[in-house]
Amino acid sequence: MKLSQLGFFCAVVEHGTIAAAAASLHCVPSNIHYRQQVDNWLESSGIQPRAILEIESYPSIFACIAQGIGFACIPESYVDRFAR
């Protein structure tokens, strides 16, 4: 399944592709409804983040990404709300 089919937006600051950013994944905790979709997509795509950092705050996730620390997979509606 392609990421675009999930309706997600990926932000990768430094490298431009999610495969090149297999460093640290910044994401919501595993009890959030779409997290399993992200985990399944990463696994099926062969992307293995060096670390998975669970962060409960979207503004905090965006702050990490803005600093070039890893990548995130989040719903596009949240990008519109928190990052732009």
Torsion, CA 4, CA 5, CA 9, CA 15, rounded to 10 = -40
The secondary structure of the chain in percent helix, strand, coil, rounded to multiples of 5, reads 40, 20, 40
Tens digit of each residue's pLDDT (9 = 90 or more) over 26-69: 899 999 888 988 888 888 877 788 889 999 998 898 888 888 78
Query: Has this prediction a pTM greater than 0.85?
Result: no
Domain ranges of the chain: 3-82
Top CATH class, 3-82: alpha beta
